[in-house]
C-alpha cells in the first residue's frame, strides 16, 4: 500500500476517465488530484508535490506532450505517463521527445497493469527523493569531515598525548574514503558502459584478468587495489573521445592509431588525476601504451621504469582485444590472444609477466569465451545466442527475458522492430 503523502495527478478532458482512474488508484492509498485540462494541471503542479502524472495525449487547447514537457521543467522528478486512445506514432514520439515520458499506455487500459505502472512510478520517485536526501547528508558530512581535518592539523603539534586516539579515528575515516573511492570507480564504470557498452564490457574483462595476474605476483592491499581500479578505468579517456567522433567524421583528417591511443590515455590521466587518492591509478592509465623496449608512448620509458600496473594492463588489454575482435565480436579465440603476447614479448610487453600470464592461462583455462557478454546490432544476431540482458521496447514492455536462446523467428522480429524502435539498436548477448 502506498504512503498517503504520495500524490498522483490525472489529466484528461473526459470526466468519466478521471473518475474511473481515481476509483482505481484510490484503493492503493494515493492522494489523487484531477485536472480536466493542461492549465489546471500546471496550476496543481505549481503548488503540489506530485509523484506521478498520468496525462491524456489528445486534449483540446494544450496537448498532452506540451503538458508533460512543461511538467518536466516544473517538476523534473515527477514520473510522467502518457495515456491515449490513439496509436499515432507521431503523437508517441512527441510525448517521448518533448514530454520525456517514462511510460506510454493505450486506452482502454488494463487495470492491473496501470496500477503496477503507477506503483513502480511512485517507487522510482521515492528513490529519487531518497537519493537527494542522501546526497545532502553526504555533502554535509564531507564538509564536516574537511573542517575536522583542518582543525586536526592545527592541533597535532600541541596534543601529542592524544595521538593514539586520533590515529584510531583516522583509520575509520580511511575506510570511509576507501568505500567512497570504490563508489567513484563504480560511477565511472557506469558512465563508460553507458557511452559505449562494448568498451565497458571489455574493461570489466580486463580488470578481472589484471586482478588475477596481480594476485599471481602476490600484490596485496593498495597495490592490488590500484591495479584493479586502473584496469577497470584504463579506457575512461575514451568517453571524451567518443563525444568527439562525430566531429572527426565530418571534417577532421584521420590520425594514426598511436596518436588516438595517446589522446585517450592522456584524457584518462587528466580525468583520474582530479580524484583524491587516484594518483597512482592515473599514472598507470597514462603509461599503459609504453613499450618494454622504450618504443611506446607518451614518454618512451622502458623496462621497470614503466609502472607495474601499466605493464600488467598492457598485457591483459592486448590479450583481450585479440581474443574478442571488435570486427567480429561474436568470434573469440584464446590462441589469437596468446599469439599477440608471444609476438610482443620483450618488445611491447614485460617478458617475465608474459610468461607468468601464459602459465596461468594454460593452468586454469582462463577467460571462458562462451560466457562473455557482447553488444551486437540486430543484424549481427545469430540463432542460438543467449540474451544476457532483458530486451525491452521504447515503451518499456518486456519483449524477451535474459537467458533466452534466440530463434530465427525472434531475430526476424527484433530486426523488423528495430527499424522503428531506436531502443532496439543494440542487443546484449552471450
Q: What angle do CA 310, 316, 318 make, to 5 degrees?
A: 95
Hey, which residues does 328 pair with through a beta bridge?
A: none
Q: What is the pLDDT of residue 315?
A: 97
pLDDT at position 329:
58
Taking 90 as the threshold, does the pLDDT of residue 184 lie above it?
no
Q: 202-211, 278-287, 406-415: which has the minimum mean pLDDT?
A: 406-415
Q: Do the beta carbons of residue 86 and residue 63 sit within 8 Å? A: no
Residue-level pLDDT at 328 = 59
pLDDT at residue 195 above 80? no
**Architecture of the 7-128 domain:** 3-Layer(aba) Sandwich (3.40)
Contact partners, residue 381, CB within 8 Å, separation at least 6: 406, 411, 414, 415, 427, 429
Instruction: Give 249 or 410, the one with higher predicted confidence.
Output: 410
As a CATH number, domain 195-371 is: 1.10.3210.10
Residue 274: its H or E element: none
Please report which confidence band the pLDDT of residue 186 belongs to, taking 50, 70 and 90 as the band edges. confident
Least confident of 20-24, 131-135, 327-331: 327-331
One DSSP character per residue, 30-86 reads -EEEEESSHHHHHHHHHHS--SEEEEES--SSS-HHHHHHHHHHH-TTSEEEEEES-
Domain boundaries, the chain: 7-128, 195-371, 374-429
Amino acid at each position: 500500500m502506498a504512503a498517503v503523502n504520495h500524490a498522483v495527478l490525472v489529466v484528461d478532458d473526459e470526466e468519466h476517465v478521471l473518475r474511473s482512474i481515481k476509483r482505481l488508484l484510490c484503493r492503493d492509498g494515493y492522494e489523487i488530484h484531477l485536472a480536466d485540462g493542461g492549465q489546471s494541471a500546471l496550476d496543481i503542479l505549481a503548488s503540489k508535490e506530485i509523484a506521478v502524472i498520468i496525462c491524456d495525449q489528445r486534449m483540446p487547447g494544450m496537448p498532452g506532450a506540451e503538458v508533460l514537457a512543461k511538467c518536466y521543467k516544473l517538476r523534473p522528478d515527477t514520473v510522467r505517463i502518457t495515456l491515449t486512445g490513439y496509436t499515432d506514432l507521431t503523437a508517441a514520439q512527441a510525448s517521448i521527445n518533448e514530454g520525456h515520458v517514462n511510460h506510454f499506455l493505450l486506452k482502454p487500459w488494463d487495470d492491473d497493469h496501470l496500477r503496477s505502472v503507477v506503483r513502480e512510478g511512485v517507487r522510482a520517485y521515492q528513490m529519487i527523493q531518497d537519493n537527494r536526501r542522501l546526497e545532502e547528508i553526504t555533502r554535509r558530512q564531507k564538509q564536516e569531515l574537511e573542517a575536522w581535518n583542518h582543525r586536526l592539523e592545527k592541533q597535532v603539534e600541541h596534543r601529542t598525548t592524544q595521538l593514539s586516539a586520533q590515529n584510531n579515528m583516522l583509520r575509520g575515516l580511511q575506510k570511509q574514503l576507501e568505500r567512497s573511492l570504490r563508489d567513484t570507480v563504480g560511477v565511472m564504470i557506469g558512465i563508460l558502459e553507458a557511452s559505449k557498452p562494448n568498451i565497458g564490457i571489455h574493461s570489466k574483462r580486463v580488470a578481472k584478468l589484471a586482478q588475477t595476474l596481480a594476485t599471481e605476483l602476490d600484490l596485496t592491499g593498495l597495490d592490488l587495489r590500484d591495479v584493479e581500479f586502473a584496469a577497470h578505468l584504463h579506457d575512461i579517456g575514451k568517453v571524451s573521445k567518443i563525444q568527439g567522433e562525430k566531429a572527426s567524421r565530418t571534417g577532421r583528417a584521420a590520425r594514426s592509431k598511436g596518436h588516438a591511443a595517446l589522446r585517450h590515455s592522456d584524457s584518462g590521466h587528466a580525468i583520474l588525476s582530479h580524484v583524491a587518492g587516484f594518483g597512482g591509478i592515473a599514472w598507470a592509465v597514462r603509461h599503459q601504451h609504453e613499450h618494454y623496449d622504450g618504443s611506446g608512448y607518451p614518454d618512451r620509458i622502458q623496462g621497470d621504469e614503466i609502472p607495474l600496473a601499466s605493464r600488467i594492463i598492457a598485457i591483459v588489454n592486448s590479450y583481450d582485444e585479440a581474443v574478442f575482435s571488435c570486427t567480429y565480436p561474436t568470434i573469440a579465440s584464446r590462441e589469437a590472444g596468446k599469439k599477440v603476447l608471444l609476438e610482443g614479448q620483450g618488445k611491447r610487453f614485460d617478458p617475465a609477466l608474459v610468461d607468468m600470464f601464459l602459465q596461468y592461462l594454460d593452468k586454469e583455462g582462463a577467460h571462458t569465451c562462451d560466457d562473455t557478454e557482447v553488444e551486437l546490432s540486430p543484424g549481427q544476431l545469430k540463432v542460438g545466442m543467449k540474451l544476457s540482458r532483458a530486451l525491452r521496447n521504447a515503451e518499456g514492455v518486456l519483449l524477451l527475458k535474459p537467458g533466452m536462446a534466440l530463434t530465427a523467428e525472434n531475430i526476424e522480429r527484433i530486426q523488423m522492430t528495430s527499424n522503428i524502435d531506436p531502443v532496439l539498436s543494440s542487443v546484449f548477448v552471450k
